Structure 1
Amino acid sequence: MASVELPEPAVDGSTSVERAIATRRSRRSFARTPIEIEDVSQLLWAAQGRTHERDGVEMRAAPSAGATYPLTVFLEVAPGGSGQLAPGLYRYEPERHGLETTLETAIHDEFAAASSGQAVVDAAPVTVVLTADYDRTRRQYPAHGERYVHMEAGHVAENVHLVCEARGLNTCPVGAFSERALADALSLPGRLAPLYLLPVGRRPSLTG
């Protein structure tokens, strides 16, 4: 599988957290322009990137119950969706802040169909896909592991959403899809369940 090195993420920006929260919207329309790899880097770092170390454990941008980190983040790239990434599917590797190619062919049509044919998914140049290995958290928290996984997915989605807002990107979190069809489209291993979709694109120009 081919590896892609991502640019270093920015840890400071011109938009405050307060401003991003105040202006956050679920935005379903996208410009017909590709997503730059710098934006990809920032979105994936906000989702699961490493931020600091605690007691010898590398911690990530979103909180995780017991630092079990059950989520695996993928990036689906539509044809023409990125100038630097070929169409297909990539797995984010937090340890090295890079991408691993998992499918080297466009899957956008099957991916959109599995997502109930929603226009927001079909129109997106790229989609951040959250998947979960529930057992990673259930082993440590048998009674509440599933709940904790879902909480973590919410933390990640909000991070991505606020980064989109700060960088002039549109997104709309999507939870409606056929789990089996989506897992098949992504060729997911059995241990990973698709959980959440974040289609992303540039904001259309107000002047057209």
Structure 2
Amino acid sequence: SPSRGLGDVYKRQTQGISSKGGLRTVPSAGALYPLEVHIVIGKGSGLEAGIYRYIAEEHSLIQEISGDMRTKLSEAALSESMIKNAPVSLVISAVYPRITSKYGKRGLRYAHMEAGHAAQNVYLLGVELGIGTCAVGAFDDEEVKKVLKMPANEDPLYILPLGYI
């Protein structure tokens, strides 16, 4: 189905492994990869509606929450209708200790740069496939963390709703 294809294509381009050496599709300071990618799937997408975490090393998804969570995620994002209506949204988050353990405070900057690179890949692939997105940064961090049941050491950075134009 189209929605399933959206999630599969984008998870690989956002944080997928691009080489046999384990490097990913976006540059990462020290190859420490502080980012996590969550895929929020709605009903009728070919996959069970829910929230999945992308596991780059296995190129797989692990369902963490079942059910259509788009409305709750939208509410956490100041009721942004794109998130509620998109068949698939990506949520890019950071586990800062992965990178600050080596780079200190500067690691925060590196994680944010990496998130920008990942989001840029989403936009570039979208142009090629005729899929629209809009990076959403206006959200309540704690509410997004609750909806996605993120661990305490993980912080949301972007929500990228995806849909055919």
TM-score (norm. length: structure 1): 0.76
Query: 1:153 aligned to 2:115?
Result: yes
Please state how far the C-alpha of 1:117 moved relative to its aligned partner. 0.4
Q: Is the partner of 1:190 in helix, strand or coil? A: coil
Pick one of 154, 160, 165 that aligns with 1:198: 160
Give the deviation of 1:53 after TM superposition. Answer: 4.0
- Cα distance in 1 for residues equivalent to 2:69 and 2:105: 37
Please state whether the residue corresponding to 2:23 is helix, strand or coil: strand
The 2-side partners of 1:113 and 1:169 are apart by 23
2:33 aligned with 1:66, yes or no? no
Alignment of 1:103-118 (within 5 A): 103-118=65-80
Cα deviations across residues 159-207 of structure 1 (Å, max 9, x unaligned)?
A: 011111111111111100000111001111111111101100111xxxx
> 1:45-194 residue pairs with structure 2 within 5 A?
45-54=12-21, 58-80=22-44, 82=45, 84-194=46-156
Aligned residue number for residue 6 of structure 1: none
- Contact 1:48/1:156 (CA < 8 Å) preserved in 2? yes
1:50 partner SS: coil
Q: Percent identity?
A: 36
Distance in 2 (alpha carbons) for counterparts of 1:136 and 1:177 = 24
Aligned letter for 1:73? V
For 1:134 and 1:167, locate their aligned partners in 2 and report how far apart those are by CA, in whole Å. Answer: 32
Question: Any gaps of 5 or more consecutive residues in structure 2?
Answer: none
Which SS does the other structure have where 1:200 is aligned? strand
What TM-score do you get using the length of structure 2 for normalisation? 0.95
Alignment of 1:23-38 (within 5 A): 35-38=2-5
2: distance between equivalents of 1:177 and 1:190?
A: 17
Count how many residue pairs are aligned between Structure 1 and Structure 2: 165
The one-letter code of the counterpart of 2:141 is E
Runs (4 or more) in structure 1 with deviation over 6 Å come to none
Q: Distance in 2 between matches of 1:38 and 1:111?
A: 21
Aligned mates of 2:141, 2:5 — CA distance in 1: 30
Q: Helix, strand or coil: the match of 1:199?
A: strand
RMSD, matched Cα: 1.2
Structure with greater helix percent: 2
Q: Is the 1:137–1:145 Cα contact (8 Å) retained in structure 2?
A: yes
